[in-house]
Amino acid sequence: MTEWDSETLRADLTAAASQQRGFWQEKLTGVTHVVNAAGVLNATETVTHAVHVAAPEAVYAALPQHARGILISAVGIDESETGFARHRRAGEIVAAAHGITILRAGLVLGETSYGGSSLMRALAALPFVTPVIGSGDQQFNPLHAADLARAVVHLLDHPPPEGAHEIGGTQTLGQAEILRRLRGWMGLGPVSLLFLPVWVARGIGRVGDALRWGPISATAVAQLQSGVLARSNDAITPATGPMRGFDQFLTSRPAGTQDLWHARLYLMRPLLRLVLAFLWLASGVIGLTLPATEFLPLLPDTALSDGLLIAMARMGGILDIALGVALLRGWRPRLTAALQAGLVLGYTVIFTWLSAGLWLLPLGGLLKNIPVLMLIAISAILEQER
């Protein structure tokens, strides 16, 4: 390979094989440096343990004798008892046992956004008000991903003393101020702050956990409520140089149309899923409970018996409710979207065959299936983050 060539190994850290030293042994032959940046904020205990503890331990054990490594951990895990924090601490213990440098990063932002940073942009882009948790003055000193990468490269060749070292940007701001500046960066005018009591925010986070809304979770609320302030120490700051401040890297690139669209659509994803779930659940209840005398007159002169039509309506109700529940639970979004589209198209074909006049009903009838299909398609696009 030339100097700039690289190889990519795709591995599922939750798989049993990737949690064994033998899986990595041959793949890491000749490796001199490793950076562990894997992490999950919201997941089951099994997944969180696999990603933060079991799989990294197998990687460290498989490294050649003189290889050096860095674990990108997180600030604030000592004061938190969330599952994320507990497994992060366990992962640090494993890393320290193998001589891996532990670097606790503060709030990391970049040119794009994902997860928590996407949620912050979305909150900043809301119309009318900007919600903040509690007082909104929780302290953050964000750093840019490129600055973090530069520091990691330096520390790989110049390891700091043992222990966990924090790294953050040079500018400290409150939660509300960060959201205000993100809003201005996107070209949006100022709005009032909406101060959410912590108990309300936690309730929203628990709902997000139950419905699998990604970064809208109890863990994310806990992080925002406590702040993410990294206190860089003298062991690494002189060597890596100061990180840029939030204003410096935020204004180094103007916001584009894609930034504003993404921010405004981000919270539409869970709302759109709720709307579709309500549609399917309501349709299912109607299909199961509506008296036959109410819907049979809509299908005159069909080749099917009344008994078969009634059975079809009840079976359709069961299928509709199943899809509604799948949407609420966030079960396999792409498959759920395909099942929704297939069922809508199936209903459209069947009812067109039974009674083409349903296309001409005053309130839309089968015509409504066209925008419903578009909503399903948009939902499927928004659900796929990577």
Quick one: average pLDDT of 245-274? 93
Residue 131: which pLDDT band, with cuts at 50, 70 and 90?
A: very high
Strand partners, 165: 103
Provide the H-helix boundaries in 136-189.
145-157, 175-185
Q: Which residue has the higher pLDDT, 66 or 7?
A: 66
**CB atoms closer than 10 angstroms to residue 30:** 6
* More confident: 262 or 115: 262
pLDDT band of residue 7 (cuts 50, 70, 90) is confident
Q: Check pLDDT > 70 for residue 3.
A: no
Question: Which pLDDT band, with edges at 50, 70 and 90, does 239 fall under?
Answer: low
* pLDDT (average), residues 245-266: 93
1 has pLDDT over 80: no
How high is the pLDDT of residue 2? Answer: 44
Tell me the pLDDT tens digit for each residue of 67-79.
Answer: 999 999 999 888 7
Q: What average pLDDT does the segment 237-265 reach? A: 86
Over 50: is that where the pLDDT of 201 sits? yes
Determine the Cα–Cα distance for residues 343 and 102; give it in Å rounded to an integer.
51
Which has the higher per-residue pLDDT, 227 or 318? 318
Of 77-91, 203-217, 276-290, 312-326, which range is least confident? 203-217
User: Which conformational region is residue 241 in: left (phi greater than 0), alpha (psi within -120 to 50 degrees), or beta?
Assistant: left
Using pLDDT thresholds of 50, 70 and 90, give the confidence band for residue 162. confident
Report the pLDDT averaged over residues 75-89: 86
> SS3 sequence, 67-131?
CEEEEEEECCHHHCCCHHHHHHHHHHHHHHHCCCEEEEECCEECCCCCCHHHHHHHHHCCCCEEE
pLDDT of residue 234: 65
Residue 6 has a pLDDT of 64
pLDDT of 297 above 50: yes
Q: What is the pLDDT of residue 235?
A: 64
Q: How far is CA 145 from CA 108, 111, 168, 223, 240, in A?
A: 6, 8, 10, 19, 14
Residue with tokens 């909406």: 194
